[in-house]
Amino acid sequence: MRYLTAGESHGKQLTTIIEGVPAGMPLLAQDINESLHRRQGGYGRGKRMEIETDDVHIMSGVRHGYTLGSPITLVVKNDDYKHWTDIMGEEPIDPDTYIRRIVTKPRPGHADLNGAIKYGHRDMRNVLERSSARETAARVAAGAVGKILLNHLGIKIVGYVKEIAGVVAKDFQSLSIDEKINRSNQSPVRTLDKDVEEDMMSKIDQAKKDGDSIGGVAEVIVEGVPAGIGSYVHYDRKLDGRIAGSVMSINAFKGVEFGIGFLAARKNGSEVHDEIMWSKNKGYYRKTNRLGGFEGGMTTGMPIVVKGVMKPIPTLYKPLQSVDIETKEPFHASIERSDACAVPAASVVMEHVVAFEIAKAITEQFSSDQFTILKRELDRHREASRCF
Ligand SMILES: Cc1cc2nc3c(=O)[nH]c(=O)nc-3n(C[C@H](O)[C@H](O)[C@H](O)COP(=O)(O)O)c2cc1C
Ligand SMILES: C=C(O[C@@H]1CC(C(=O)O)=C[C@@H](OP(=O)(O)O)[C@H]1O)C(=O)O
């Protein structure tokens, strides 16, 4: 499975093309929409989310509710486009209007300056339109298809917020994954910990009031992936590496850890490695899960536990110094519409990029032209690894 996305933030639409989804898998627009709507929500987002209603249009690859095995094209319209037709249209524009509207002031922390240098754009709108996290709607659409595939294979996944600006949620390891899904869906900041919700929201309110922005940590848990998915043979087949890459590719994400992650550097081996157990019912399992479900680039059969850290949003009302690329004069950032905190929304994005990577690894490892055969093979693998 692989996918490509296309589309500018204030252009007509976002398009996702996914290749390699097995034929015969049930797939409905409403299931993809559930993911898209979750991504749009979350406390801390700016005015743009009041304009958009992200609903998917399935343009190819699905017939009568089932996948065909051919490329699936998903379209999400940008409702904001109607306000940007003069700026974002494909026809040549009157030079006076154009000059008045070009973006020459790069925001520290965004892709503006580096993207302009790379492509030679003197108008940094040509960069920001595509570097905008609007693209994550298209990625969530792809991830939703991956997640639907996993769900049909008995694999469940949840993403939620662990921390916002130093307010840390407690661990809820004993909660079932279904309870985690419910709690994160009900929380305005998508955390499992009701006790810290208010604190998280007041941090966001304070950041908004100060014209500043804040970041945090999101966590994703995946249950039901059998042992031995991924590979220890090649760097680009190690599944933990691929998941880490997908998380790092989310806009504003600056780090990833599995299980106890960076804490492992300060512990002895006896405090880090998960002892191996066996029982007739469960087969092999680990007493603990400090390594977050991976050894040797392959799944251990324990829950996959991955965290990603998101930096504060770059667009600030509070001025940060930068340089105008036309005049070379210093300036202080101008006021622009922006999110103050997007960690709740990003936890949904993270859930979906991780879902896609796992679905992709499973379809690579087993026969995947036909969904029923894939399901049979995975069940066989589950049984073989239990009895191994
Ligand atoms: C869901 C989501 C919403 C975001 N919203 C904004 C925003 O409103 N304003 C902004 O400047 N950056 C926003 N970002 C972050 C930028 O897109 C990101 O910082 C930028 O693309 C530069 O990439 P980098 O931070 O990965 O280096 C958002 C990110 C995500 C995941
Ligand atoms: C549009 C989305 O997020 C956008 C991501 C974003 C950025 O710079 O990354 C900037 C903002 O866009 P605008 O400048 O139009 O207000 C966010 O709203 C979205 O998540 O769908």
| pLDDT > 70? residue 334 | no
Q: Looking at ligand 1, which residue's alpha carbon is closest to its atom 27?
A: 252
| pLDDT > 80? residue 336 | no
CB neighbour class for 232 (10 Å; exposed up to 12, middle 13-18, buried from 19): exposed
**CB 9 near ligand 2, within 6 Å:** yes
Q: What is the pLDDT of residues 117-139, one digit of tens each?
A: 999 999 999 999 999 999 999 99
Q: In the chain, what percentage of residues exceed pLDDT 90?
A: 91
Distance 131 CA to ligand 1 centre (A): 8
| pLDDT > 70? residue 171 | yes
Of 132, 133, 134, 182, nearest to 160 by C-alpha is 182
Q: Ligand 2, residue 54: give the atom nearest the CA.
A: 21
Q: Ligand 2, residue 10: give the atom nearest the CA.
A: 15
Q: Stretch 269-280: mean pLDDT, rounded?
A: 97
Distance 132 CA to ligand 2 centre (A): 6
Q: Do the beta carbons of residue 250 and residue 218 sit within 8 Å? A: no
Q: Stretch 273-301: mean pLDDT, rounded?
A: 97
Q: Do the beta carbons of residue 216 and residue 341 sit within 8 Å? A: yes
- Identify the DSSP state of 24: T
| pLDDT > 80? residue 349 | yes
Q: What is the CATH number of domain 2-387?
A: 3.60.150.10
Distance 109 CA to ligand 1 centre (A): 9
**CB 134 near ligand 2, within 6 Å:** yes
Q: What is the pLDDT of residues 1-33, one digit of tens each?
A: 999 999 999 999 999 999 999 999 999 999 999
**CB 79 near ligand 2, within 6 Å:** no
377-385: long-range contacts at Cβ-Cβ below 8 A with a sequence spacing of 24 or more? 378/153, 378/226, 381/226, 381/228, 382/226, 385/226, 385/227, 385/228, 385/283, 385/284, 385/301
ipTM of the complex as predicted = 0.98
Whole-Å CA distances, 289 to 191, 204, 275, 297, 304: 21, 33, 9, 15, 9
Ligand lying closest to the C-alpha of residue 14: 2
* Domain edges within the chain: 2-387
pLDDT value, residue 255: 98
Q: Which secondary-structure segment (H or E) carries 308? A: strand 304-310
**At how many degrees (to 10) do helices 343-365 and 29-40 cross?**
140
Distance 47 CA to ligand 2 centre (A): 9
Who contacts 33 (Cβ-Cβ below 8 Å, separation ≥6)?
Answer: 54, 55, 56
| pLDDT > 70? residue 146 | yes
Tell me what the pLDDT averaged over the chain comes to: 96
**CB 251 near ligand 2, within 6 Å:** yes
Q: What is the pLDDT of residues 76-119, one digit of tens each?
A: 999 999 999 989 988 888 888 888 889 999 999 999 999 999 99
Q: Which secondary-structure segment (H or E) carries 302? A: none
